[in-house]
Structure 1
Amino acid sequence: MPFRIKNLLFALLSVAAVTGATLVSAHEPHWAVTLRGQLVRVAEIDWRLATVAPQRCARIAAGFGLALDSISAYPEAERPAVAAALNMTDLLQIAAVAKGSPGELAGLEAGDNLAAINGAAIASLYDPAVDIPRADQIEALLTRLPIAKPAQISVQRGGDAIDLAITPLPRCAARSILAVSDKVDAYSDQSNLALTTGMVEFAQNDDELALIAGHELAHIMLLDRHDRLQIRRKRKEDEADRLGAELAVCAGYDLAQASKFWLRYDSTRLLGFLPTFTHRNSKVRYRALTKLAAAGPPDCADIAIKPAA
């Protein structure tokens, strides 16, 4: 994949991936605003999907509903323009706060600068010995905090210092990452999933994007990456389609609208109308999802995990 992060385990939801991306000139800083908008969309979808059925996930993490960004994640030559476009400083910035999340309910706002966690200054929480972006390190730290125990989060907003007690909720530990690539793609490993900027642009609405993210999250929940037997690949994709669609529906997305993604997806691939060894034809997937939508909503209190036989 044309994405700088080699292992999704070490890259939580952030725009650290821009370090290795080819971006437009600093004289046109609008690309940073566009990228931030995509990050906000992915962060919202990530939160809603990850909190649907955390008890069904192999790993559970503390969820605050935040996405962080750091000016240090951007190419050095681009930083002045990015800082001006996004009102960033050397402090970590809260790029997004998911609706209804503990962060929003406690009063955090997008644009706040993160100053301290439980009294420890953010600068003291970085590990300079590891090659992991600052925003990713702090997001990882947040996920390891005790669930259902208030965390003291200190932010700077304008000239004001604000201290908030935020109690995280359980969420699937798997995170959705925004990968900078023009390719219309989504993928996952055993730990996290990625949506490319090309995929975010291609999706006509968040219903479609949630369906694709849900499919990749389903692979993680089904432990598909632990199973190397390719003979079951199509059945695994079928089950990921089913589970991913149910996750999206239970997260509040419209499956009837989302399934239309598959009517357009073939246009992104050479000979896309042909089936592959690993995936069914897009029209077949569309019909299956349409049938699932017509059957009515799933039991969101007891979403079924059915690994492919």
Structure 2
Amino acid sequence: MKLFALILFSLMTLCGCSAPEITPEHLTEEQIKQERTRQFSQAHQYQLKQRIRLFEVARPLLTKNTESCPKNQHYSLGVLFHRLADYPIEQRGAIAELYNLDEQLKVLYPLKGTPAENLLEVGDLLLSINQEKIIPEKASGQFKALLKDGQPVTIELVRNGKQQQVTLQPELICSYPIILSSSDSINGFADGNRIIITAGLMRFTEQDNELALIIAHEMAHNTQSHIPQRLGNSAIGSLIDFVLISSGIPSPFVGAGLGANLHTQDYETEADIIGLKLMHKAGYEIEGMDDFWRRMATLHPQTITHGKQISHPTTVERALRIEKEIIRIKNSENLSTDSKSER
């Protein structure tokens, strides 16, 4: 009885609670479905625009510096393909409507400045490559196998209802896949094989050469094998831990930690300098790139006196060293030009 009275009292009390004065209009399932499709479509187009910018900025760095990645190269056409199964299930309705896409392989986007730029178009339906029928779910492997020797490839396709053929000359590039992370942090990463750029960094970089600066920095970590070297230093530190523990001296992975962080600031400085050279060779304007770190300092003032992490130099050191390296590169370029003109 007491429990019933308590429940009744609670319900009556809740009935007396305040409520909004405006009652929301009822939304039909069809309205919700249409709006969901609209938002999925807009989100996809925004993400695609970001990916295209990232890939097109990275492309010259990967194609103009192949001598820096002799063991990590492959031939590429510079085109993005897609089929409906590539997308999350909940997005497929919006994607199918946006591109008239099904399970067949189509061109999503031919990147600027690549072999595909003037020969392939958005929406091209791909039928075969070098007379080998394209199997959509195996297309990646098919293209990789047929491009490996760098010989021209002929693609049979359907464009605007008409069947035709195009022949493309593959381009040699460094095999460092460029990944766009959804993280809002302003950062870039390299793992020895890939380059990861965050959405936050994409928004922060106002100019493409600023984005190229960070991609080149991460690329330098890969070309200089910084990741394996750091892992090697960590392994040596772990060996020290083992010796200390075996001798009865507590060592909770101190050696491994010290080893992993040994010379890390030097690695970062080297990546800044080599990255600037990679960027310059790729044809990017390097003048003023020191200001990128000054702008970073305005957003993260703590980096003026302390590196973003223990492994990174301060923004003061990075700006000054890059400024000096820019002068060195420009002077070297001028000397080379003067030498050629004297001949």
Same fold (TM over 0.5): yes
Q: Look up the match of 2:30.
A: none
Query: What is the alpha-carbon distance in structure 2 between the residues aligned to residue 25 and residue 182 of structure 1?
Result: 23
Q: CA RMSD in A?
A: 2.7
**Residue 296 of structure 1 aligns with which residue?**
329
Alignment of 1:1-309 (within 5 A): 25-28=36-39, 29-57=41-69, 58-86=71-99, 88-104=101-117, 107-123=119-135, 126=138, 138=140, 141-142=143-144, 145-228=147-230, 229=233, 230-266=261-297, 271-273=302-304, 274-275=306-307, 276-297=309-330
Deviation of the 1:86 alpha carbon: 4.7
Counterpart of 1:34 in structure 2: which amino acid? Y
Structure 1 gap segments, 5+ residues each = 1-23, 127-136, 300-309
Percentage identity across paired residues of the two chains: 25
CA 1:96–1:242: 2 relative to 1, 3 Å: farther
**Which of the pair has more CA radius of gyration?**
2
Quick check: which one's helix share is greater?
2
Q: Could you give the per-residue CA deviations for residues 33-92 of structure 1, whole angstroms, max 9, x where no partner exists?
A: 111111111121222111112122022111222233443232211222233345544333
Task: Work out which structure has the larger RCO, using CA pairs closer than 8 Å and 6 or more positions apart in sequence.
Answer: 1
| Pair 287,270 (structure 1): closer, same or farther in 2 beyond 3 Å | closer
Q: Figure out how many residues of one structure are paired with residues of the other and give that number.
A: 265
Instruction: Name the aligned partner's letter for residue 320 of structure 2.
Output: R
Q: SS of 1:231's equivalent?
A: coil
Shift of 1:227: 0.8
Distance 1:46 1:104 in 2: 16
Measured at CA, do residues 269 and 110 of structure 1 come closer, stay the same or move farther in structure 2, by a change above 3 Å? farther
CA contact (8 A) 1:155 1:161 kept: yes
Q: Where do 5+ consecutive residues of structure 2 fail to align?
A: 1-34, 234-260, 334-343
> Following the alignment from structure 1 to structure 2, what is the Cα–Cα distance between the partners of residues 140 and 60?
17
Given the superposition, is the C-alpha separation of residues 42 and 32 from structure 1 closer, same or farther in structure 2, using an over 3 Å criterion?
Answer: same
Question: Is the 8 Å Cα contact of residues 62 and 144 (structure 1) preserved in structure 2?
Answer: no
Q: SS at the partner of 2:186?
A: coil
Comparing 27-36 and 147-156, the one that deviates more: 147-156
Report the CA distance shift for 1:68/1:261 in structure 2 as closer, same or farther (over 3 A): farther
Tell me if the contact between 1:62 and 1:147 (Cα under 8 Å) persists in the aligned partners: yes
